[in-house]
Every structure is written in C-alpha cells, then in structure tokens.
Amino acid sequence: MTIIKKINKTICILILFLSLFLCSGCLMLSSDSNQEFDALEDALFYSFLGTDPMNVHFTLYYPENYGLEDAKVEVYQATEKDMEESYDSLREINDYLKSFNRSSLNEENRLSRDILIDYFNHKIAYDGYYYYDTQLGSYLGYQAQLPLILTEYRFDRMKDVYDYFDYLKTAKQEFENIVSFENEKANRGMGLTDVVLNRCIDQCNAFLSENENYLIPVFNEKIDEVTFLTSEEKTNIKQQNKEIIDTYFLPAYQYLKEQLEQLKGRATTNGNLASYPKGKEYYQIKLQDAIGTNQTVLEIKANLETILNQLLVTYSQNRLENTQAYQTWENSNLMKDLTLSDLIPYLKEKTSQNFPSLKHDSTYSITEINESLKDHTSPAMYFLSPLDDFKNESIFINPQDVTGSDNYTYQVIAHEGYPGHMYQHIYLKESSLSPVRKLISYDGYLEGWATYVENYVVEYQYPDEEVRKLFEATDALNYIILGLGDIGVNYEGWDIPTFTTFIQQYLDVNDEVCVDLYYDLTEVPTNYLQYYYSYFIIQDLKESFKLKMKDQYSDLLFHTIYLDTGPCSFDILKEVYDSYEI
C-alpha cells in the first residue's frame, strides 16, 4: 500500500483557491485553448494542494517556489452544509472543464481534460453521503497513521520544527472533531461497531504503553542531523519536543481512547454499508472510485466469479495431478540466496529489459515500524515522496509479516519498491505530466500496478509459465474470495452466518476467523478489490493489447504506455491502449 504523506482536510479547502480564481474572472477565454487549459491546471494544482503545511510539506521540498512557505497549521472541520456548497463548486469546475472543445486542445491536454472530468465525476458522486465514511480505523484510520506520518516529517528549516510541534499540539482538537462526527453518526443509526471501536482502542493503548514514546528518539535523531541549529539549541528543542508530547500528544490519544469507550454500544447494525439508508448506492460509488471504473457492482461481481472459477481450476488441476509445476511451487523459494537489502538492486537489474528506465537513482531506506505499531499497521507501505526533487524514498515493513527470507518478502518489496510503488512514483515525477496530474490519485491504477508487478517478478526466479500461474492463483484466490465477500457484506447485506458459510466453502478457517474477516470488510470496504480486481483489469488490458499489436507487442511497450498515461481510470486507460498506433 502507499501512504500519501498529507492529511486532506476536506474538499472544501481543496477547491477554495480555484473557486476564488474562477469567480475573480482570471480564467478568461483566450485565443489559445491550450494556454487557457494550462492555466486551469495550474489553478487546480494549488487548489488540490491547499494551504495545510502537512499537505504542502509532503508534496514539495521547496514550497517557496510556489509561494507556500508560510502555510499555517489550522484545525478545520467542514459541516454538512460546507460540503454541499463544495460539491456545487466542484460541479462548476467540472462544467468549466467540459467547456473546452477537445479538438482545440493538443493530445496531452485532451487526455488531461478527460481524466480530470472523470476524476471530478467520481468525487461529485459522494454528494449526499456526508455521514457514510469515517476517519477512524485500526490500521488505516487517521489516529493509526498519524504517528507514522510524523516519523517521516522532514526538518528542512526551523519553521518545519514549529509546524511539527503544532501538529502535536492540535491532535486533540482533530480528535475532538472526529469524535463529534462519530457521535452524530451514531445518533443517525450509523455508529461504528464495538468490534471496530475496540480495535481502535487497542491501537491507542499500544501507542500509549511505551515507557518512552518512540517519536521522541526519532525526533532527536533528526534534530541531531540538522545544520540550522547550534548544539545548545538542539538540546533545548529536544526538551521542548518531549514536553509537548507528554503534555499534548499522548493526552490526545488518552482522550480519544476514553471517548471511543463512550461510543461503544451505540451501533444498531453490524456496520455493513448495506444496512444504512442508500448504503448499496454508496457502496457502488465507493467501489467505482476505489477501482477507477464505471462498471456496476453486479458487473464486477460477475467478473469476479468468472476469475474465481478460473483460478480454482488452475490450482485444483495442478494439485490433484501433483504436477511438476505444483511440486516446484510447493517447494519454492523466491528469495533463494537474496537478503532483504539485495532485493531492490536485484529487481532493478532484472526489470531493465521490460520496464522503462528511470533517469534518477534516488536513495531509499527500508525500515521496520516501531514495536508499538506492529499489531495495527499494514505489512508494508511506501511513503510518496515530494514531487519537486529526487532525494530520499521510504519503505516501512512490519516485522510480523515481512521476515526477510520468504516468498512474501520478495513479492512485497517488489510491490512497495521496485518495480512497484516507489519506481512508479519516481517515474511519475520524471514525466512531463502537469503538476495536478501528478497530484491526483486513482487507487486502482496504483494498487493494481503494484499487485501486477509483484506477480510479474516471479518469472525472474521461476520462468516456467505453469509455476507462475500457480503463484498467481494461490496469491489471488484468497483476495478474490474476500472481494466477493466484501460485495456480499457491504452491498448484499450478508449477516455473519451467511458470510461464514460463503467463506468456509473455499477457505479452511474457523468461525472466529470468519467473524474477524467480516468486521475487516466493514471497517475498510472495497479495500481488497482495489488491489486484485484492478490487477485482473490490467491483465485483460494486456491480453487485448497483445492481440492488437501482434508481432509489434512487447511488455516494455505495454508498461511504458501504462506509466506514461499516468493515474487515471481503467476506462480511460483502455481507450489509450485501443487508440495506440506505432
């Protein structure tokens, strides 16, 4: 998974700059539609970036080049009315985009126009669903990700240190807003279940349990490295940080924990989206947005069932016949003689023929997360680096999941690092796409690619096609089954017994595990599907492109087009492949 190292306040803030820009008449019709469109994209970039220092800090190394060096930390809570007004503004912006005649734009701007319209369409679809989402979660929630984000906060100048302190100090206000929102949700019969609340409480307890909070030594190490402070100033700043964490930040988590305890017992459902008014409609909007498609839920379900049957045939036939491929897979070792530190250099060398090369050789680190976070953090994650320079890249791994010596380690580093998220993001930064196109995100495009390459790199260790199909089948089966379970729970409204019956048809798991899985799906709906359904869309695009290009096809060409197009929906990506000509 990727972590975008910024905390978006709301759409209201994101579009404020652009709304003022449009109202002021700065975007007047010009004789050159491309110049006008470029000006609009520049305005959109500033609008999406906003003025929150964390957004700015994690998107840009040099905010002074954009006039954003003086951004201030503010706590902002958008009301339901604010959001309604923001959606009206989004429609105005989208109408403005649609007013550009495609034939008057150059090829790059035509594609950007179509992508931005599609992007806004997906966001506008959320209008009317203010209370359907949450900022809480045991591992993807705001409170779970905030400590990790703070460990990555750079100190390029003294203002960064003061901004960091402000985020520590305002954490309680952020949590107060979240609690207020969750209380209102509960009043409307849409409260979080006790299971999810207990998971969040456990995460808070783990973070609070350390004798010395790990953010303190992390901060001290970074302060030791800065050059804009004297030795005495560094000592004072370290002490100040400790006092702020003890006085503000840790009490904020204690407050959140206590408030979450009070929210318990107020859920009136099992937390599945289908139990909410218009919950099925919301789930379809969320699923289409997560994947980047206009397919309906029922279309996606039918495709998943077909994929599942194909995977079962591949796996079952090989297993029952005890084929050589099955025996090779069963005894496989993707790491072979490699160590964790060997993997990215090894994969760089191996992918050089089939993936476009990068111009920059950025430094990177692979770091284990802190002990207090391991029970409430994903197996691995890549932090998106700032867009305006090529410096350090960061991958975090959870030692509970990534041991450094198994098949999973090989594939997860490919997924997060090379040629996955890290490679993909560096390639995006090097591209000629406009800044706003580099800023917008399509999760299916990103996670589908990372899932695709983690399966692709198996061939470097096991080139036999049948063995590679077994890797794909065994890797994908669980996630496709859970994806169908996700649809069953959140769209069709399955209860726990129905879900358990479905899961136990395919997986050898007990009732207790099924209950945990059920609440996983209610906590983060659509999560599995943005990985594996997107992956199989990419596979379909690839097979279709092979048929189209025939002898002129190469994996290098397929990968280059995918990366050059940039983040977009799969509907648009299909049009790009279909219209491609040598």
pLDDT in tens, 37-54: 999 999 999 988 888 999
- pLDDT bucket at 16, cuts 50 / 70 / 90: very low
State yes or no: pLDDT of 29 exceeds 70: no
Checking if the pLDDT of 165 tops 80, the result is yes
d(C-alpha 193, C-alpha 177), whole Å: 19
Peptide bond into 419 cis (omega under 30): yes
Which SS3 state, helix, strand or coil, does residue 415 take? helix
Q: Percent of the chain beyond pLDDT 70?
A: 94
Kindly state the average pLDDT of the residues 191-210.
Answer: 93
Cβ atoms of 172 and 255 closer than 8 Å? yes
Residue 21 confidence (pLDDT) = 46
Using H for helix, E for strand and C for coil, what is the string for 148-174?
HHHHCCCCCCHHHHHHHHHHHHHHHHH
Q: What's the chain's average pLDDT?
A: 91
At 3 the three-state DSSP class reads: strand
Q: What percent of the chain has pLDDT over 90?
A: 76
pLDDT tens digit sequence for 510-536: 999 999 999 999 999 999 999 999 999
pLDDT of residue 32: 87
What mean pLDDT is predicted for residues 311-339? 87
Contact at 8 Å (CB) between 484 and 308?
yes
* Measured distance CA(567)–CA(570) in Å, rounded: 9
How many whole angstroms separate alpha carbon 204 and alpha carbon 473?
37
Q: How far is Cα 394 from Cα 153, in angstroms, rounded to an integer?
A: 12
Residues present in the chain in total: 582
Tell me how far apart the alpha carbons of residues 195 and 515 are, in angstroms, rounded to a whole number.
10
Give the model confidence (pLDDT) of 387-423 as tens digits: 999 988 999 888 887 877 789 999 999 999 999 999 9
Residues whose CB is less than 8 angstroms from the CB of residue 454 and which lie 6 or more positions away in sequence, other chains included: 411, 412, 414, 415, 420, 475
Q: Which of 1-5, 12-16, 483-487 comes out lowest in average pLDDT? A: 12-16
Q: What is the pLDDT of residue 24?
A: 43
Residue 227 confidence class, pLDDT cut points 50, 70, 90: very high
Which tokens is 24 given?
């002021």
| 5 pLDDT more than 90 | no
**Crossing angle between the packed helical segments 107-124 and 570-579, to the nearest 10 degrees:** 160
- Smallest CA-to-CA distance from 158 within 248, 214, 65, 233 is with 233
Q: Is the pLDDT confidence value at 581 over 90?
A: no
Task: With cut-offs at 50, 70 and 90, classify the pLDDT of residue 9.
Answer: very low
| Per-residue model confidence as pLDDT tens digits over 122-160 | 999 999 999 999 999 888 899 999 998 999 999 999 999
Crossing angle (nearest 10°) for helices 33-49 and 80-98: 160
Q: What is the pLDDT of residue 2?
A: 57
Q: Assess whether pLDDT exceeds 50 at residue 112.
A: yes
Q: Is it the case that residue 508 has pLDDT exceeding 80?
A: yes
- Give the whole-angstrom CA distance, residue 271 versus residue 195: 10
Q: Per mean pLDDT, which range of 38-47, 102-111, 177-186, 310-319 is the poorest?
A: 310-319
Rounded-to-integer distance, Cα 395 and Cα 3, Å:
10
pLDDT at 534: 97
As a whole number of angstroms, the distance between CA 271 and CA 274 comes to 9
The answer to whether residue 30 scores a pLDDT higher than 60 is no
Averaged pLDDT for residues 541-570: 97
As a whole number of angstroms, the distance between CA 35 and CA 174 comes to 40
Q: Which 3 state secondary structure label does DSSP give 364?
A: strand
